[in-house]
Chains A and B, each alone.
Chain A
Amino acid sequence: MKPVRAAPAFLQTSADSAQPLILARGLSKTYDTAGADRVTALKNLDFEIYDGEFVSVVGQSGCGKSTLLKVLAGLLPYSEGSVELNGKPLRGPSPEAAVVFQSPVLLPWRTVIENVLLPIEFRKLPRSSYRQRALELLNMVGLRDFAMRYPFELSGGMQQRAAIVRALVQDPRLLLMDEPFGALDAMTREQMNLELVRIWGQNRKTVFFITHSIAEAIFLSDRVIAMTTRPGSIADIIAIDLPRPRDLSIINTDRFGRYAAHLRSLLDAQGGMF
């Protein structure tokens, strides 16, 4: 399979001249450790993400994919290179990007709706004008009846759906998701993947999705960034040319299998996935 580094086909016609939502050039991140040695977490990354695209990053634990997400979220400063978000250099957290963490991170003393409106409070926006939108989003993920409940009354999958709604409520252009379904069981995880595809289909946010599951990455994405470890760098960027809307049956197609085999070989070359 030929590596594809350009924008996916459906974007190339209209968006060829358009600037990408994220543009990273020579992006590097080194940590100063207690000793004299420096740890290179990310080395010389070049990539761009276009508006409305679903891009996943796969790689082993420790390949720096979480570091990359934190850099894009503005939570970690990068060491070298440049990152632009919507044409502007990235300096700190931006209202245009929202993060979904590995765990739901719902505050247990707040009801679901109060949790969802938390970013609105942090950004000092009027709560009342976002309440309707929050309820509509909760309705979209099937949590309308749980708006007044506390997080401990919800299952793990429901909690993570509430966390996704919390990220969507501020209407960001970019959704940064850090292995959001990693802590869920396999069945719930599949359901959440289907749910996410549906939500994405309705909102067309740009999604930057971190996972260590190759199947999850292919199923969800327009393009998959394969990262190798030590130092974290990009092995390849694969365009996933599978028809949408997708359902779980595409996992059994030959094309899906070929994408999976190719990605696995990319990651295997670096010393095994499992």
Chain B
Amino acid sequence: MAIQAIDRPRVEAAVAPSRKPPPSIFRRYPQFTISPAIFVALVACWWLATDVLGAPAYVVPAPEEVLRALVRGLSRTPWDRAGYWYHTAITVWEALLGLTIGSALGALLGFAISHWPILGRSWYPYIVGFQSLPKVALAPLMVVWFGFGLEGKVFITAVITFFPLLVNTMAGYQAVEPERIELARSCNASEWHLLSKIILPSCLPFLFAGLGVASVLAILGAVVGEFVGASAGLGMLLMQYDQQMELAPLFAVILLLAMIGFLMNHAVGILERRYCFWAQRINASGRP
């Protein structure tokens, strides 16, 4: 206690505004300075483990081997089945299609069961039950239903991306300020106006939060779908390389998937800043 009491003024003096130097470049742009540094450090560790300490190539391939595989795979034309572009396009297409269908249905049902409580209460046990089910368990069934084509992967992706939107829409609907609804009612607003001009925009921040989660899950859905049975796609490539014990291209595809996931999430972030700019301003000013 006594030590704290003595220490505190000294700490405060150190950060007194008059003596504070301008914030460093690391503090201002950590994403452009510290983040790349972390990447370099991780690759260095990797390189140290394989090339210097000699971890066997059938456990962890060397970073330069992975880079070579990545460059080789990406230097092919998009129509070449031996290259990565072809399979990337298929996986991304499956993910986007599934994401669109799944999130649209999730949001729609979320609005419906929030707006008509009887619907919500009667369907709730099934929704909870279905949500606790690991959706991946449905993947084998999908081959039976849809075969090895696109539809099965879209289906599994839609099922996986459905819930984040459903749950977030319900939470968003609950969170609409009651005063906004009273304002609409006091102006004799129609149900449609209430929904389209008040409730739907109020829910947008929640919808985007759900979409952010769903965008990452969409890649998972497409890849799992391809694991179970596919003739093309990055998930199929993963299985292929795994069976052939080709770890360098396997790692390359994993890196590729990570980048796709990152980009999808980033795209949602861009959309959110475009269509939900006001929510971020409110958060920035510390108000709910």
Contacts and interface: CB of A to CB of B under 8 A. Distances in A.
Contacts of A52: none
A105 B278 contact: no
A98 B186 contact: yes
Most buried by B among A73, A107, A123, A124: A107
Contacts of B282: 108, 152
Contacts of A118: 183, 187, 197
B187 A101 contact: no
B188 A108 contact: no
B178 to A, nearest CB: 10
Contact of B201 (A97, A107, A121): A107
A170 B187 CA distance: 9
Interface of B is mostly: helix
Interface in A122-143: 122-124
A182 interface: no
B179 A105 contact: yes
Contacts, number: 61
Contacts of B184: 122
A117 to B, nearest CB: 11
Interface string A64-82: 0000001001110000000
Contacts of B279: 108
A99 B281 contact: no
Contact of A93 (B187, B197, B198, B204): B187
Contacts of B72: none
Contact of A75 (B185, B189, B190, B281): B185
Interface residues of A, number: 26
B188 A93 contact: yes
Contacts of B183: 99, 101, 105, 118
A256 B23 CA distance: 56
Interface in B186-203: 186-190, 193, 197-198, 201
A103 interface: yes
Interface of A: 70, 73-75, 92-93, 95, 97-99, 101-103, 105, 107-109, 118-119, 121-124, 150, 152, 170
Given A105-B183, A108-B279, A152-B282, 10 more contacts: A98-B186, A101-B183, A108-B278, A118-B183, A121-B197, A122-B184, A122-B188, A123-B188, A150-B281, A170-B187
Interface of B: 177, 179-180, 182-190, 193, 197-198, 201, 204, 278-279, 281-282, 285
13 contacts: A75-B182, A92-B188, A93-B187, A97-B186, A99-B186, A105-B177, A107-B201, A108-B281, A122-B184, A122-B187, A122-B189, A123-B187, A124-B190
